[in-house]
Amino acid sequence: MVRSTGTRARRPRGPAVVCALAAVLAASTSAYAAEQRPHRAELRISGHETQPVFSRADAVLQQVDVQTEVDSDGDGERDTVRMRILRPKETEAAGLKVATIIEASPYWAGGNDVPNHAVDLDEDGLPVAGAFRQLGARKPGLTGPAVAWSGYYDNYFLPRGYAVAQVDSLGTGGSTGCPTSGGRNETLGAKAAIDWLGGRAKGWDPDGNPVRADWSTGNAAMMGISYNGTLPTAVATTGVKGLKAIVPISGISSWYDYYRANGGVVAPGTFQGEDTDVLARYVYSRADQDICKPVLDALERDQDRVTGDWSPYWRERDYLKDVRRIKAGVFVVHGLNDWNVKTKNAGQLWEALKKHHVPRKLWLHQAGHANPMPLRMEEWLRQVHHWFDHWLYGIRNGVLDEPRVDVEQADFTWRRQPDWPAPGTQDLTLRLRADGTLGRAAGPRQVQSLVDAGRTVPAEQLVTVPDTPNPNRLAYTTGPLERDLRLNGVPEIDVRSSLSGTSPYVTALLVDYGRATRATSGTVTDTSRQVCYGEGVPDLPGETGCAYRTRHATETADFKIVTRGWLDARNRRSYDRQSRVVEGREYRLRWDMQPEDYVFEAGHRLGVVLISTDYDYTLRYPAGTRMTVRAGDATLRLPTAP
């Protein structure tokens, strides 16, 4: 018999939770299955989906410490992960066996104030003294401290016959081991929870007694946002038995593409100066605050903020190389305005899933690093519910027969299509011409130059008024577009360029010029009406089973930077090894921008702006580097959809 901490889940008193997730959709309740065996509860399936017949208020709360395969803190004992489980009471006494939806996170116990790295460098590439800033109190995507059960999984899925679980990632909360920002040990730590549910790992209750998951079917799903959405992909690439479905939302597929880009040190949006060591120190919340210091110091050393080169350190944190091992159905979700976990992480994961024929779905929405569910409540929960029902309970509900891809448009309507990029997408190549225009023909070849001012001037200021000469940028625009132009994929820039000065960075910005009201990365909560999507618990404050809808935050402006890309010119040949840049010598530089799905409206102008330092993203060398571009030879490749 599984020992539980009580037959009714009670939330300990504690601070309110900042919830990264909310959910929706009311569903009809019904009685138990008519043909249930005596003293044995069963799922109720009607209309090709599980029905809400179990009580959230009477749920069993269980805590287990699960043994992992690793000893990342070097104390001579295998690390353990702390797992908190809510499950229907019928799993305790009525023989009900259920599948489990897991959210593994390093954030359940909160974070520490940690200084970021200096990003202002001197002429020798060394940090300028005192150029630090504090990391904010919370990272986007975290879902609250361990004293509360956050989110909507318990209210919606538990009544439908699922257990829901929280797992403290290694080095955080009640787990042992060390945080390593995507390292292999973290993957195996979260994997251990699935192994325990399948009877392949040891677990102990709070009193140290061995416990088994006798109530578990052995099937599990993983889901979450940000770091919580990264761990599902990491664990799935181990091929672990029993992990049937994952829903990575704004998740990282390669940590190199979170903290680096094309050989350069590049920050996640709004976290300039952060790196793997800073994040690990931020989430390091286990009781022993000394044992992991050597591990954290090794992260700082091995991540290499000097060159930004690809290395075995980053290969360990690259999940794309192991996508072929995934046995789970993968439902990828990402915001098209997400500059924290940039869209490349979703785009390259999607392409890898296609290459290896992994069953998959994709949602792209107009918000940023955010939960899309309150934006499209009913449809979101319908699709996720059917995704889990199909993969975890084998219900034939047609979810795999629906269009694979849902894309939110600029007007906040949704387009459904069979793939992404959209079928029929073709490359459009435009030339960057000496007269400041973009067009198909090359025009005269002419060397043009800019002087880097990105150390002090943000890119948003450098792209304004493209027709007015500005010595700190090179701007090229089309004429007013005759028809809408839909960007659908990864833009690429190709230039012949030279650099003279200290900064090795080149940055390309793709800009929509034309006054319009456009989505930003933010969302706004509509407090006029709550939607009740699941079962609440009357005696638990905040457990209403209801949530407010959200809508997109918008901004009316004359332009928008649609996407951007960066290259360290020293890595023009390879991301894993630098080559010397001779001042004044022209090199062919080619690099990608972040993938996008965006419509440039008829009457607007499409623009490319070239700069060196990108104030909010790249390392910032002293101003004054001179960058040249050979107009007429430079090209922009745009994948455009019908």
Query: Catalytic: which of 168, 275, 338, 616?
Result: 338
Sequence length of the chain is 642
Amino acid in position 309: D
Amino acid in position 466: P
Are 618 and 571 contacting, i.e. CB atoms less than 8 angstroms apart? no
Question: Rounded to the nearest 10 degrees, how much is the dihedral formed by the CA atoms of 401, 404, 408, 410?
Answer: -110
Rounded-to-integer distance, Cα 425 and Cα 145, Å: 45
Buried b / exposed e across 149-163, counting CB within 10 Å, b at 16+?
Answer: bbbbbbbbbbbbbbb
**Between the CA of residue 184 and those of 197, 237, 320, 623, what are the distances in Å?**
21, 11, 14, 39
Query: Catalytic: which of 150, 226, 253, 254?
Result: 226
Amino acid in position 377: M
Q: DSSP class of residue 570?
A: G
Rounded-to-integer distance, Cα 525 and Cα 548, Å: 7
Whether 390 is a known active-site residue: answer no
Which residues are within 8 A (CB) of 256 and not within 5 positions of it... i.e. 6 or more apart? Answer: 310, 314, 317, 318
Whether 338 is a known active-site residue: answer yes
Q: DSSP class of residue 18?
A: -
Query: Catalytic: which of 117, 334, 365, 369?
Result: 369
Radius of gyration of the chain measured on its C-alpha atoms = 26
Rounded-to-integer distance, Cα 506 and Cα 611, Å: 6
Are 107 and 283 contacting, i.e. CB atoms less than 8 angstroms apart? yes
Are 516 and 508 contacting, i.e. CB atoms less than 8 angstroms apart? no
Maximum CA pair distance of the chain?
A: 86
Is residue 414 left, alpha or beta, with left meaning phi > 0 and alpha meaning psi from -120 to 50?
A: beta
Rounded-to-integer distance, Cα 97 and Cα 100, Å: 10
Provide DSSP, 485-505. Answer: EEEEE--EEEEEEEEESS--E
For the record, the structure tokens of 378 come out as 């009913």
For the record, the structure tokens of 187 come out as 């993957």
For the record, the structure tokens of 166 come out as 């929280």
- Reduce the secondary structure of 586-627 to three states and give it as a string: CEEEEEECCCEEEEECCCCEEEEEEECCCCCCECECCCCCEE
Are 44 and 50 contacting, i.e. CB atoms less than 8 angstroms apart? yes
User: H-helix or E-strand containing 192?
Assistant: helix 184-197
Rounded-to-integer distance, Cα 338 and Cα 520, Å: 9
Whether 55 is a known active-site residue: answer no
Rounded-to-integer distance, Cα 413 and Cα 431, Å: 33
Q: How far is CA 433 from the centre of its chain?
A: 37
For the record, the structure tokens of 26 come out as 């009311």
- Cis before 421 (ω within 30): yes
Q: State the residue for tokens 């027969």.
A: 401
Catalytic residues: 226, 338, 369
